[in-house]
A and B are shown apart, each in its own frame.
Chain A
Amino acid sequence: MKRLKVAEKMRNLMAGYYMLGHQAKVRAWVTSGAPVEILYAMDVYPVYPENHGALIGAAKLGSYYSDFSEKRGFSRDLCSYARCDIGCVFAGTSPVGGLPKPSFLFACNNICNTVVKWYEILSRIFKVPLFVLDVPFVRKELKESHLRYVEDQLIDFIKFVEKLIGMQMDDSKLREVAMKSIEAVKLYGECLRMSKNRPSPMTCFDAFINMAPIVCLRGTDYAVSFYKEMKEELEDRVKNRIYAVENEKFRLLWDNIPVWYRLRWLSDFFASRNACLVADTYTNAWTGFGELRSSDLISSLAEVYTVSYLNIGLERMVEIINGLIEFYEVDGVVMHSNRSCKPYSFGQYEIQKKLSVPSVIIEADMVDERAFSEAQVATRLEAFLEML
């Protein structure tokens, strides 16, 4: 695997991010799809248990930390991010020495409803307040009433934080953070779209490895300068004809959260068969957060975070995937049926029927390596490539 040079920078950046967390005065544990802009605007440091879960998976320690939760009665059928993060709390450590304790918790259910129960448990463990941003599921079109419901809660949330920190939010600061968020997402989207080149300068594995800043540092200068650099490196690759997969023959799209503990294996598997996973639905989900309007900030925050990828109907998801298939000119779709992530995996068999290119489903889990059977996955993927 030809890693991007920026991956090293990303590692340092994220090490710094985790370290800063311990020094921060006010910390919130937040879900990946929560409007982090409000937190950054109020100098609240956001901690991302999901990113931490991915890190545990990549370190191949999923089953180890999950055990701490399972021994206390948490079912193995629960999300492995939740199991591992809660497991680390019980273990009192983690690959990064444990996450810094929260001052409060902020869960937005636009990605799943597991986060609600997960954060309620955290709230009981840490004895800190929890704010749940309840977002209605958008089966078809987004209604005015949906927006008003979410907007009201955003205003409540700002008051909730103001009360906790004893300070008022500065509207201009929120605007400033939002502008940075928009810029970072724009650059990030431009990075991903570089894969439109044939052959592609990057794979979705590069996207996965380098996605942490858009998740955790969206709204800061760090994310902006990181993706600027990543974009430059990709442009250089295109100019100098450096391709992610030397003899790119098949162009594929990945669906669902990565199999973190098998990134290298999967990346080598595809590269050795001249197949390039040029894009994925997962990292693309963050490009939607760039539609913020600085003139009407609260309302557009409500909108952007309500129509997130896992909070919309199957038909809309199919439209998005077919859009990606067309844009990136892919020959097939590899769908990871993720034992952990029900909202992401549940509709896959239905979606599969409506895609414009062939697809294959592999069964695994994003973090729990016990759910991965190498021989089974290899046979399905090989047969799929033979078919294409």
Chain B
Amino acid sequence: MISAGIDIGSLTAKCVLLSDSKILAYKVTRVKPKIEETAREVFEETLKIANVRREEVLSVFSTGYGRSRVEFADKAITEITCHAVGASFLIPSVRTVIDIGGQDSKVISVENGRVVEFVMNDKCSAGTGRFLEVMANALHLKLEELGSIAMKAEKKITISSTCTVFAESEVISYLSSGEKIEEIVAGICDAIASRIVAMATRVGVREDVVLTGGVAKNLGVKKAIEEKLGIPVKVPEEPQIVGALGAAVLASRKKNI
């Protein structure tokens, strides 16, 4: 059977089509103000890529920040459960999922594909994708470039502030005092990693650790997290679709829920 998972995050919408435990197709788009429309579009585009008709999809589950607004979904499940399920599907040995999304980040302790415990960032954007976005803007860089630039740094500048707004002005002052861009970027990656690791320590880190969400594509953040945890971290090929994948997996086992 074919099932679909749709993850409406704060910045991007993701859709995964799954058939007999195989990913048929996936798509990532920007979220528009109208969530219902975003969901329909990302779903239709994924169907097109897979060359599958809507009627062939027997079950659709939604997840993410906009999960309850996807009217055509059969069920809405939180991104916490979906990331745990999606990560376990890709990497069955996973015990800890670190998900860094656009506006929240979470650490999930997993046992046999089920959530045992989780923590999320509180009312603060430091430690989320938004933090990186603001910093990229301040440095006139593209978000995607940050990771590779950070990898070039020989040392890091410490960003002392834990707040996105104050960190931005700190970064600007480093820029004007002539510090190297790559060292500032490495410092930014380090700042986000230290937030995440503090949260992860609260849940307890057990291997394998899997990093998911858009920020996982940033090698600088991955490296900084590995340094702080002292263990390697696995990143799925397409870390951004793990939540949607989890929703699709749950949709395929509909009867079990």
Q: Which residues of A contact B (CB under 8 A)?
A: 349, 358, 363, 371, 373, 375-376, 379-380, 382-383, 386-387
Contact = CB atoms under 8 A, between A and B. Distances in A.
A387 B114 CA distance: 7
Contacts of A376: 104, 120, 123
A383 B117 CA distance: 10
A375 B123 CA distance: 11
Interface residues of B, number: 16
Contacts of B79: 379, 383
Contact of B116 (A349, A373, A387): A387
A386 B115 contact: yes
A386 B123 contact: no
7 contacts: A371-B123, A373-B123, A375-B65, A379-B65, A383-B115, A386-B78, A386-B115
Nearest to A358: B117
Given A363-B123, A373-B123, A375-B65, A383 B202 contact: no
Interface string B108-124: 00000011111010110
B65 A386 contact: no
A382 B123 contact: no
B54 to A, nearest CB: 27
B18 interface: no
A379 B78 contact: yes
Contacts of A371: 123
B52 interface: no
Nearest to B257: A386
A259 B192 CA distance: 31
A363 B124 CA distance: 12
Interface in B103-161: 104, 114-118, 120, 122-123
A350 to B, nearest CB: 11
A351 to B, nearest CB: 14
Contact of B78 (A349, A363, A373, A382): A382
A379 B123 contact: no
A387 B116 CA distance: 7
B120 A380 contact: yes
B212 interface: no
A359 to B, nearest CB: 9
Contacts of A386: 77-78, 80-81, 115
B174 to A, nearest CB: 30
A347 B205 CA distance: 22
Contacts of B78: 379, 382-383, 386
A323 B81 CA distance: 30
A387 B115 contact: yes
Counting chain B CB atoms within 10 Å of each CB, which of A373, A379, A380, A383 scores highest? A383
A363 B122 CA distance: 7
A349 B118 CA distance: 13
A338 to B, nearest CB: 13
A379 B202 contact: no
Contacts of A383: 78-81, 115, 118
A281 B52 CA distance: 53
